[in-house]
Homo-oligomer: A and B are copies of this chain.
Amino acid sequence: MFQLDVKSRKSIYEQIVDNCKELIIAGVLAPNDKLPSVRELSAMLTVNPNTIQKAYRELEQSGWIYTVSGLGCFVSESRHAPDPLQIRALLDKIEPLVRELLFLGVPAESIRQALDKMIRKGGGSR
């Protein structure tokens, strides 16, 4: 369920954050599902509980999960009004990557196809 790669340049807590996001996006974790407790996950991944805490805190701050003290962490409802700022931020991250692809000499058509595939694939999982 969770996969960590110690050799990655990403820090552990960041990998956990991204991992959770992916699980939520993929629908593996549905809204109001309970996440593993800090202790559980800490044991599962043989990772310091502080690290898990930090990941959960970040997820909560960015609105992916909510915490009910004494009960645990739960996946937030997916919002139906997409936040334009968030969308803008994501597109701004994508743009330089696309430009780099073009610069590397990848034909525009190939890029379009690759991106289309992503859009279709991701869309089906929900």
Binding site for B on A (CB under 8 A): 6-7, 11, 18, 21-22, 24-26, 61, 66, 68-71, 78-83, 86-87, 90-91, 93-106, 108, 111-112, 114-116, 118-120, 122-123, 125-126
Contact = CB atoms under 8 A, between A and B. Distances in A.
14 contacts: A6-B68, A21-B100, A22-B99, A25-B102, A82-B105, A83-B104, A90-B104, A94-B97, A95-B118, A98-B115, A98-B119, A98-B122, A103-B122, A108-B120
Top 9 nearest A-B pairs (CB, nearest first) are A99-B122, A102-B122, A82-B104, A7-B66, A25-B103, A82-B105, A98-B118, A115-B115, A108-B119
B102 A68 contact: no
Contact of A78 (B22, B93, B105, B115): B105
A114 B98 CA distance: 11
A108 B6 CA distance: 34
